[in-house]
């Protein structure tokens, strides 16, 4: 049977014309809710047929590129170094996409035998379901990636049984609907653990590939690369969860504008956070590192706790555009002077006077760190970051001088409040303002949150909340 290439070209053009108008933004907005979901399903079905064709052709490209399949391999004909490069250049996909398609295609591509008859694909049940449009590409990849390692360590019948059950779960039956890809992944992992308990656990090779490194600066940011073991990933995730404190009720509907309009204190709990999830995780990691550096269990460096050293000229310290320097991985890195003020707020200041020739003439040490007892008292009062809506606990917070130490502010509980790393770092620029009233913090929001900018009790003043909750 000849391959209907010309017919496919006509079909692709016709399909493009057919879908262009109804799937334009104006056409989509005219759909009812039911029709919108139905259209989603129909177009996905078209995409599944296209995925099956793409993967089938990718499998043939991979087969013809293998040495020994022909006198001249496909890579030689087109002057490419690999099958992935042929796909990159011919259909303009990324190398990662090309390699992923080729990897999955090998698992569902039939091969001719010496007798001329086709041999079943390594995952024949999945291939048949995928070829008929019943199995999505995501589901196929989940099954193949989960079961492929078992082929080297388990019997063929066992792997085939697992594959068959997973395909049924992914495509559904007359009485059971198809499972989600997330559920399918769990099922695949369960089968892998059942068939090969030792292989499903981390082996020595995977342990050897653990790594962590800090890259070089790029546009004032440092990339982090590496692989961590499952227990380290789980421990870090738990720390991030504790820091970010996700809550089910945070996902409930909110009427922020109405609460603010009525001046309700409840609006404090629903202040929008402009940070992305990735930015929140970054700020949580910063708090975790700061807490770890201050821990008594942390190894010392040069006889002292690991200390972040920031240097700034006195003439630069108070300027809005001032520049300071921090001792980074590749030497001194310029940072805004506001960073030095942030660090100095909860650290020790060493004031060094230099002579005209650079000689050290004098050193003055100013310790403005809140004591352990002061921090415990402030933590009891505030309970966590005082910015409304922030859920960072007291253990992860820094103590901020409400009146800066350089302006005469005392290192006293009446002048200290808890702020998380993010809000402490941005307190000068975010628009939030803090004041102390009879030893109790009050907070005023930026104008973009509440144009009236009223002073309100801080996020969690524990004893104030207790008194307010009791009936008169």
**266 near 469, Cβ under 8 Å?**
no
**83 near 102, Cβ under 8 Å?**
yes
Task: Give 64-121 pLDDT, tens digit per residue.
Answer: 898 877 788 899 988 888 999 999 999 898 988 999 999 999 888 887 766 656 678 8
Q: pTM for the whole thing? A: 0.47
Q: Is the pLDDT higher at 257 or at 286? A: 286
**312 near 324, Cβ under 8 Å?**
yes
Distance (Å, rounded) from C-alpha 269 to C-alpha 261?
Answer: 14
Task: Give 315-350 pLDDT, tens digit per residue.
Answer: 776 677 777 777 666 566 677 777 666 666 655 555
Task: Give 423-450 pLDDT, tens digit per residue.
Answer: 888 888 888 899 998 888 999 888 888 7
Distance (Å, rounded) from C-alpha 417 to C-alpha 377?
Answer: 10
Q: Is the pLDDT higher at 27 or at 35? A: 35
Give me the pLDDT at residue 350, please.
54
The full set of domain ranges for the chain reads 5-200, 211-243
Percent of the chain with pLDDT strictly greater than 70: 72
Question: What is the rounded average pLDDT for all residues in the chain?
Answer: 76
Q: Using 50, 70 and 90 to split pLDDT, how confident is the model at 166?
A: very high
Nearest to 453 by CA among 253, 228, 256, 263: 263
Give the lowest-confidence range in 83-87, 295-299, 396-400: 295-299
3-state helix/strand/coil string of 150-210: HHHCCCHHHHHHHHHHHHHHHHCCCCCCCCCHHHHHHHHHHHHHHHCHHHHCCCHHHHHCC
């Amino acid at each position: 049977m000849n391959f209907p290439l010309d017919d496919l070209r006509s079909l692709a053009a016709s399909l493009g014309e057919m879908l262009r108008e109804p799937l334009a933004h104006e056409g989509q907005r005219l759909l009812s809710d039911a029709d919108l979901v139905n259209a989603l399903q129909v177009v996905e079905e078209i995409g599944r047929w296209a995925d099956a064709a793409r993967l089938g052709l990718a499998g043939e490209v991979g087969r013809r590129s293998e040495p020994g399949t022909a006198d001249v391999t496909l890579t030689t004909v087109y002057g490419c170094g690999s099958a992935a490069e042929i796909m990159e250049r011919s259909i303009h996909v990324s190398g990662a996409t090309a390699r992923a398609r080729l990897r999955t295609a090998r698992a569902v591509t039939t091969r001719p035998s010496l007798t001329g008859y086709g041999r079943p694909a390594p995952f024949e049940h999945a291939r048949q379901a995928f070829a008929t449009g019943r199995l999505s590409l995501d589901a196929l990849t989940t099954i193949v990636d989960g079961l492929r390692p078992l082929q080297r360590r388990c019997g063929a019948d066992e792997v085939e049984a697992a594959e068959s059950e997973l395909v049924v779960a992914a495509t559904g039956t007359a009485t059971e609907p198809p499972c989600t890809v997330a559920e399918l992944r769990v099922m695949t992992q369960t089968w892998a653990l059942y068939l090969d308990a030792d292989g499903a656990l981390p082996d020595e090779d995977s342990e050897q590939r653990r790594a962590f490194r800090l890259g070089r600066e790029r546009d004032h940011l440092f990339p982090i690369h590496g692989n961590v073991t499952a227990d380290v990933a789980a421990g870090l995730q738990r720390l991030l969860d504790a820091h970010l404190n996700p809550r089910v009720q945070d996902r409930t509907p909110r009427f922020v504008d109405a609460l603010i309009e009525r001046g309700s204190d409840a609006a404090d709990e629903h202040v929008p956070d402009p940070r992305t999830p990735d930015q929140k995780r970054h700020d949580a990691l910063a708090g975790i590192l700061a807490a770890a550096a201050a821990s008594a269990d942390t190894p010392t460096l040069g006889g002292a706790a690991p200390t972040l050293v920031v240097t700034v000229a006195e003439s630069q310290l108070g300027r809005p555009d001032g520049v300071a320097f921090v001792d980074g991985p590749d030497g001194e890195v310029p940072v805004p002077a506001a960073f030095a003020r942030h660090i100095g707020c909860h650290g020790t200041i060493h004031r060094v006077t230099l002579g005209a020739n650079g000689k050290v003439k004098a050193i003055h040490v100013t310790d403005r760190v809140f004591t352990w007892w002061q921090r415990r008292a402030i933590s009891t009062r505030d309970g966590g970051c005082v910015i409304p809506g922030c859920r960072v606990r007291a253990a992860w917070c820094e103590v901020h001088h409400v009146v800066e130490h350089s302006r005469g502010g005392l290192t006293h509980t009446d002048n200290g409040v808890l702020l998380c790393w993010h809000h402490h770092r941005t307190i000068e620029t975010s628009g939030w303002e803090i004041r102390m009233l009879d030893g109790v913090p009050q907070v005023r929001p930026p104008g973009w949150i509440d144009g009236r900018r009223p002073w309100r009790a801080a996020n969690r003043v524990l004893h104030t909340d207790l008194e307010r909750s009791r009936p008169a």
